[in-house]
Amino acid sequence: MSNSMGNLLTRYTIPVIIVMKIGVLSYIFLGDKKMFWLGDKAVVAQEAAPEAAPEAEAEPVDGGKRKGFLDDLLNLPKIDSENLKKDEVGRYLTLLERKQSQVENRLQVLKAREDQLKSLEASVDGKLKKLEEEMTFFQQTIQKEKEIQKDRLDKLVEFYQKMDAKKAAPVFEKLDKDLVVSLFNRIPQKQTTTILQLMNPDKSVELSEYYGRIRSAKEYEMLKEINTTLRKEFAECKGMPEKTP
């Protein structure tokens, strides 16, 4: 009897100890988050594990809308590190390479756009600089022209101030109206009035009206009164008999 019990213990003790060791090792490696099965369940779990990776690899569609580029890069499939097989590692590495290639392509696109923007910015800066140079040139040219005109006008004013009014009147009739106005602004008012009185009445009226539009309303009224007087005097002169020698 004792020999039979000893044989039974010897027969079943060793397998039980082996199973217990496997259970302890499995618990250590797997932790308390996963259950360990013996028999067919473990086989089923191993066969079902590889199918999870391809499902995770498929990118979910959010309401039928395309996901953003960053979301596509950041959303990587979860890995079952305990049940990961060699072919799954290959697929995962391929996925990483594809996403790395996408990142490199996007960086190239962004670099090209950056270069394009820099080129455009340089072109705009060049055009603005050219416009500033042209504006400076025009301002300097205008200033020089003003100085030249002022110098010429000063000489003309000095010249006509010394000229007798009777001689200056026919000359003023032939001058440009803007120049006449500039001269009238510089020479004494008494001399201006005398020259207008000695000019052809029609021309005197024309210059007076133009001068009035350029000058203030008060001065315009003064010249208008002078013109009215000139018209009356001209009309009276027409009615006078010609002088006989």
Are the C-beta atoms of 172 and 199 separated by less than 8 Å? Answer: yes
Q: How far is residue 145 from each of residues 136, 149, 184, 186, measured CA to CA in Å? A: 14, 6, 21, 19
Alpha carbon 168 to its chain centroid, in Å, reads 60
Evaluate the CA torsion angle 195, 196, 200, 204 in order and state its sign. Answer: positive
DSSP character for 33?
T
Give the residue extent of every domain in the chain.
163-239
pLDDT, one tens digit per residue, over 231-242 is 766 666 555 444
Task: Inform me whether the pLDDT recorded for 47 exceeds 70.
Answer: no
Q: Alpha carbon of 138 to those of 128, 145, 151: distances in Å? A: 15, 10, 20
Instruction: Quickly state the pLDDT bin for 46 (edges 50, 70, 90).
Output: very low
Lowest mean pLDDT of 107-111, 116-120, 122-126, 230-234, name the range. 230-234
With 50 as the cut, is the pLDDT of residue 41 above it? Answer: no
Predicted pLDDT of residue 39: 43
Q: What integer pLDDT is reported at residue 35 of this predicted model?
A: 44
Q: Are 75 and 59 in contact (CB under 8 A)?
A: yes
Give the mean pLDDT of the chain: 70
3 state DSSP class of 215? coil
Check residues 60 and 196 and name the one with the higher pLDDT: 196
CA dihedral 117, 119, 121, 122 (to 10 degrees): 160
Reported as a pLDDT band with limits 50, 70 and 90, residue 75 is: low
Tokens standing for residue 71 = 């979301």
Average pLDDT over residues 20-38: 49
User: Which pLDDT score is estimated for 57?
Assistant: 47
